[in-house]
Amino acid sequence: MTDSDVTAILKHPAVVSAYKSLTNNTRSYLNQSQQLLLKKAFHFGAKAHCKQFRRSGEPYITHPLTVATILSELNFDINTLCAAILHDTIEDTEVTERELVKKFNKTVAYLVQAITKLDKLKFRNLQEAQAESFVKMLFAMAEDVRVIIIKLADRLHNMRTIGAMSESSRKRIARETLEVFAPIAERLGLTKIQNEMQDHAFFALHPNVAEKISNNVREISGNRKQAITKIHKKIVKALLHSHLTGEVDGRQKSLYSIYNKQKKKNLSFEQIHDVFGIRVIVKTVQDCYIALGVIHGLYAPREHSFKDYIAIPKSNGYQSLHTLVTGPFGLAIEIQIRTVEMDKVCESGVAAHWMYKTDNSDTSTRLNLARNWLGSLLNLQKETGSSLEFYEDMKRDLITDEIYVFTPRGKIIQLPINATVLDFAFSIHTNIGIKAVSSKVNDEVAPLKQKLKTGQTISIITGDEISLKTEWLQHVTTSKARTAIRHSLKQIKDEDAIFVGHKMIDRALDTYGYSFESLDKRSIKRVLKYYKKDSMDELLKSFAFAELLPSIAARKMLPLLKQRKIDKTYKPKESFAITGKEGSIINYPQCCEPIVNDEVIGYLSHAKGIVVHRKNCANLEELEKSPERMVKMKWDLEKNMMFQTTLKMDVINKQGVLAKLASVVADNEGNIERFEQVDRDGNYSGLEFHLSIANTEKLENILYKLRQLPEVLKASRKEFK
């Protein structure tokens, strides 16, 4: 590389144009010394990227210059702009972090290093690479939010030039932009960046649909703009009459927002009423509500169309009043009303912290909201099993359509749309979530899986013990709830496994006249080393999950002299007693539906633990081919438990027969989970009731009572084959 090469790059028309745009934007707010530092970054970056060109054929430096220009439109500080110009130098050139510290400063060097991609690590697949890159970026964001803002500007320019990429790359990058980067921009309140990203991605993924919506907008723009102009003049006049000073502007909804609304609500283009709208900007919050009254005096508001984001801001700090009114020609027009301060923050989000450095603004609040959100993501990431799992959860959590619900004391809780009672419980506290047993929504009893709506008041009824269930994962929307459930389930399963593993090895040792407590430390240490386990808890869990067989491990735990003399035939003295304290490590399969008092036998299954089968189960013939995994079992419950079973009935079709059958089951301590009509022949039906019941005695009692009914021709417990 020669000086003439660098000079040629600096004089390239595309480079000159890009640098001119940047300096034009920054001239109004950067001082002379800052302008010189910006020029220094430009020359340093141009030299570093001298041999690199974009697919379009332009020198590579045009890309970082444009990224810096995007940020200069938001009046970002000199360190951010320099980092934007240099953001690819560590990754793509021989420039080092130390060199950037020396040439510029620690802040610039840190920002550049923080956004450098994970190009040196090896991953199993592209998804994992994306997930790991995002987690790294997340940690950097938590230190300085400007990291993600530079990344967003970088992605925006890539989206502007996405046409130069292959079709597969276009679709992959566009999809990632819609799923991750645009929602992050929205969370940070960077509306302009968000909208432009989404529209570019929309055209890349669905070019025909995007073109059609664009044409539709052009076709209706004449009529709608005429209506907007009329409303505009009328509102300005009415505000002046009410002694309010403010600005009234028109606005247009982005193409992707139109598409998204059509898709979510299954609407035609003609049914989208807020393609064009009006924004009213006044001085104070009080003026906002006065202006709302003035506007409603001019135009009738549509029912259920008013939203007060001033009293209850969105999670990203957005504040405004929204109302949908019927304007000229019967058209529905959305009007947004906000203060000057709110408008600044609405348009620039966290960037307002750098744009408007005044004590009376809400810029610090917006920045704190962003930092709190990033902090909550970091906490979730620590509790999540893998980066990929966290990445997928986070994408779901970025959906910003929100509902607003209340605690019994009137505290507002913001949740994503489709959130359930369980999401609400976990948003209050993890302990409330894992101990939730029931709830009330607006003072009416509601299931924990019920979806919530804005304005509802929810109270959670908790029990003394953990009531967590695996199926709860299917009924939550927030990553906080999902992560807490997974984490708690693992803890419970581990605790259950240690308890069952202890019980199993004690039973095995008892066969040889020993107990777990009587073993010396040397024997335990020897066995841990043999099985390559770090702790006794890990060894006990491996028994419960059938990774190791306690019958074999027990012999190895005995003193060496004793091992040589023992009978190799393993015949446990006692059956394994089912007490009910074993939790998730004892499983009752659907193949035979065992319940208390059935004769049962256990099978040590990998990962599942002990699977309890009835002795007449058809599956036992295959399982008994591994006799070392069979466990003699007996019932010895110490706590009340309910078990699943199925009843088969042939009944006469009569009005009210189902109610009669259900009444018999309920009156005799059975609980119907669901029922099915499996057969129907004229006046007769074959029914199956899936019940939860305590034991065979109660089951036989229900069957006896059912057989007494004249409508019941036959009733029995279903036998599985």
Return the active site residues: 91-92
Angle (CA) 299 304 308, round 5°:
85
Instruction: Please state, in angstroms and as integers, the Cα–Cα distance from residue 135 to each residue in 124, 130, 176, 385, 392, following that order.
Output: 16, 9, 15, 13, 12
Give me the phi and psi of 578, to 5 degrees please: -85, 110
DSSP, collapsed to helix, strand or coil, labels residue 147 as helix
Cross-strand bridge partners of residue 605: 609
Q: 3-class DSSP state for residue 331?
A: coil
Please check whether residue 613 is in contact with residue 620, taking contact to mean a CB–CB distance below 8 angstroms: yes
- 421, two tokens: 């009672």
Q: Nearest Cα to 83, choosing from 110, 60, 50?
A: 110
Q: Which of 303, 306, 343, 305 is nearest to 321 (CA)?
A: 306
* Helix (H/G/I), strand (E/B), else coil: 411: coil
Asked if 300 and 326 touch (Cβ cutoff 8 Å), the reply is yes
Residue pair 197/182 in contact (Cβ under 8 Å)? The answer is: yes
What number of H helices and E strands is found in the chain? Answer: 30, 19
Helix-strand-coil split of the chain, %, nearest 5: 55, 15, 30
- Which helix (H) or strand (E) segment holds residue 601: the answer is strand 600-605
Terminal-to-terminal C-alpha distance of the chain: 79
Q: Calculate the alpha carbon distances from 32 to 41, 78, 106, 376, 690 in Å.
A: 14, 11, 21, 40, 80
The pairs formed by 282-289 with CB atoms below 8 angstroms and a separation of 24 or more are 282/239, 282/244, 282/245, 282/246, 282/337, 282/338, 282/339, 282/340, 283/245, 283/246, 283/339, 283/340, 284/339, 285/310, 285/339, 287/244, 287/246, 287/339, 288/321, 288/337, 288/338, 288/339, 289/321
Closest CA to 76 of 16, 127, 145, 136: 145
With beta carbons less than 8 A apart as the criterion, state whether 31 and 19 touch: no
